[in-house]
Structure 1
Amino acid sequence: MAAESDILDELYAALDGDPKSVYLHERLLEVWAELGDKDMTTGFATTLQRLDPKNEIAAQYLGQKSKSKTKHVSNQPNPKTSKASRPWTHPDFAESSNSQPIKNLSAQEKDLSDGYTILKLEAQMLQVELAAVLSHLSTSDSDDQEVLPTLQAISEGRVGSVVPMEQPMSVRSRAREIAESPSEASSLIIEDFEAIIRWAACQDPPLLPDAIRERLVKRKTLLEAAIPDSMTKDTTAALRHIERAYLEKTYVNSETMLGDDISEIPKENFFVSEDNYAWDMDELAQAITANDGVMRNPLSKQLFTESDIKQILAHPLGQRLKPMQLKQSQLKKGIRPSTIQWVSKVGKIMLEDQSVDIAPSRKVMDEFLAYVATLPKAEQETIKSLKIPGVDSTSKQPFDYTIGESIRDAVANTTCLHKVGDFLSQAAVYLKKQ
Structure 2
Amino acid sequence: MKIRKSSLTGRPAPSNGITIGSFGLSKYSNLDFESSEATAPKTAAPDTELISILLDNIESSPAGITNRLLLMDHYKQAGWHDAAMDVAREILRLEPSHNEARQLVKSLTWDQSAQSQAAHTDRNHDRTAERPRNAVVMLPTPTTTAERHALEGELVEGFERLQARAKTILRETRQVRDMQQEAGATAVRSDNHLQDLKALVEGRVSAVVSVRVPLSARAIARVMEADLGRALDVVVADLADFVRWKRASGEPSASDNDSIRDGLARRVRAIVAALPDTPDDLQQHPLTALMHAEHEELERKYINDETMYGDAVTDIPRASFWVTEDGYAWDMNELSAALKSNKGVMRNPLSRQMFSANDIGSIVRHPLGHGLGALQMEQSRLSRGVRPSTIDKLQSLSGVLLADDSEDQMASRQMIDDFLAYQATLPRAEQQALDELRVPARDSHTGQAFDCTIGEAVRDAQANKVCLHKTGDLIGQAAQYLRQSSTMRRS
If the TM-score is normalised by the length of the shorter chain, which range does it land in?
0.5 to 0.7
1:3-402 alignment, distance < 5 Å = 105-106=153-154, 114-115=161-162, 118=165, 152=195, 155-156=198-199, 160=206, 165-205=211-251, 206-227=254-275, 228=277, 230-402=281-453
What is the CA–CA distance in structure 2 between the aligned matches of 1:122 and 1:368, rounded to whole Å? 87
Q: CA deviation at 1:236?
A: 3.3
What is the CA–CA distance in structure 2 between the aligned matches of 1:204 and 1:162, rounded to whole Å? 14
Q: Residue 302 of structure 1 contacts residue 398 of structure 1 at CA under 8 Å; is this kept in 2?
A: yes
Q: CA deviation at 1:249?
A: 1.1
Deviates more, 1:367-376 or 1:301-310: 367-376
SS at match of 1:295: coil
Q: CA deviation at 1:353?
A: 1.0
Structure 2, unmatched stretches of 5+, are 1-150, 182-188, 486-491
What is the CA–CA distance in structure 2 between the aligned matches of 1:342 and 1:392, rounded to whole Å? 21
What is the CA–CA distance in structure 2 between the aligned matches of 1:212 and 1:131, rounded to whole Å? 45
What is the CA–CA distance in structure 1 between the aligned matches of 2:350 and 2:178, rounded to whole Å? 63
SS at match of 2:306: coil
Q: Deviations over 1:50-88 (max 9, x none)?
A: xxxxxxxxxxxxxxxxxxxxxxxxxxxxxxxxxxxxxxx
SS at match of 2:440: strand
What is the CA–CA distance in structure 2 between the aligned matches of 1:265 and 1:241, rounded to whole Å? 11
What is the CA–CA distance in structure 2 between the aligned matches of 1:363 and 1:379, rounded to whole Å? 22
SS at match of 1:178: helix
Matched residues, number: 327
Q: CA deviation at 1:172?
A: 0.8
SS at match of 1:390: coil
Q: Please report the TM-score for the alignment, with normalisation by the length of structure 1.
A: 0.65
| Matching residue's letter, 1:341 | D
Q: What corresponds to 2:49 in structure 1?
A: none
Q: Residue 165 of structure 1 contacts residue 202 of structure 1 at CA under 8 Å; is this kept in 2?
A: yes
Q: Deviations over 1:164-211 (max 9, x none)?
A: 533111111111111111011121121111211221221114442222
Q: What corresponds to 1:71 in structure 2?
A: none
Q: CA deviation at 1:275?
A: 1.0
Q: Deviations over 1:224-273 (max 9, x none)?
A: 22234503443333222222222121111111111111111122111111
Aligned-pair identity in percent equals 39
What is the CA–CA distance in structure 2 between the aligned matches of 1:270 and 1:200, rounded to whole Å? 25
Q: CA deviation at 1:346?
A: 1.2
SS at match of 1:420: helix
Q: CA deviation at 1:132?
A: 12
Q: What corresponds to 1:426 in structure 2?
A: 477
Q: CA deviation at 1:163?
A: 6.4
- CA distance 1:167–1:377, shift in 2 (3 Å): same
RMSD: 3.6
What is the CA–CA distance in structure 2 between the aligned matches of 1:120 and 1:308, rounded to whole Å? 52
Structure 1, unmatched stretches of 5+, are 1-102, 135-143
Q: Please report the TM-score for the alignment, with normalisation by the length of structure 2.
A: 0.58
What is the CA–CA distance in structure 2 between the aligned matches of 1:417 and 1:163, rounded to whole Å? 70
Q: Deviations over 1:354-379 (max 9, x none)?
A: 22332322333344345444544433
| Matching residue's letter, 1:333 | R
In terms of Rg, which structure is larger? Answer: 1
